[in-house]
Amino acid sequence: MSVSDELMARYYLLLLDRSLPKQAHPLEAKKQLAFEIVQTYHSAAVAKKTLDEWNARFSEKRLADAELPEFAAREENAVAIVVAAYAEAFAIAKSRAEASRLIKQGSVQLDGKKIGDPKIMLSLCAGQVLRLDKTRAVRIL
């Protein structure tokens, strides 16, 4: 989805050997391009599953239905949990200050509810979904 709308016509020609449909909405054109690339290298079933997963997670924001990395339940303050989730689930080192900023901005959510206080103690339970930012979330074990 990070391909600019201007480059989509070139991507269609290079990767699919055809022109971008003239009336195609940029988002739909990108989804179609992704679908056809996955279908080429895997199968139609895998491409369909991938597209459905993307729609559930990003378009419809149904994280409960999406495949997510798992993160062990624990009881700590919000900042410590966010730092640990990034490290364990995504191998990304976030500082406590970065985690605190994400929480204060409202990016961090537990089961769809924003966590606004970085110092709050959280008690995570199996099955919950912790959203860390716009593109990353984990399922609690």
What pLDDT sits at residue 88?
96
Count CA atoms within 13 Å of residue 31 on its CB side. Answer: 15
77: pLDDT confidence band, cut at 50, 70 and 90? very high
The string of pLDDT tens digits covering residues 83-121 is 999 999 999 999 999 999 999 999 999 998 999 999 999
Going from the C-alpha of 17 to that of each of 12, 13, 37, 51, 134, the distances in angstroms are 6, 4, 12, 21, 33
Positive or negative CA dihedral for 48, 51, 55, 59? negative
What pLDDT sits at residue 3?
83
Which range scores top for mean pLDDT: 17-21, 49-53, 68-72?
Answer: 68-72
Report the alpha-carbon distance of residue 132 to residue 141 in Å, rounded. 16
Give 37 or 1, the one with higher predicted confidence. 37
Taking residues 116-131, report their average pLDDT: 94
Structure tokens at 124: 């995570």
| % of the chain surpassing 90 pLDDT | 70
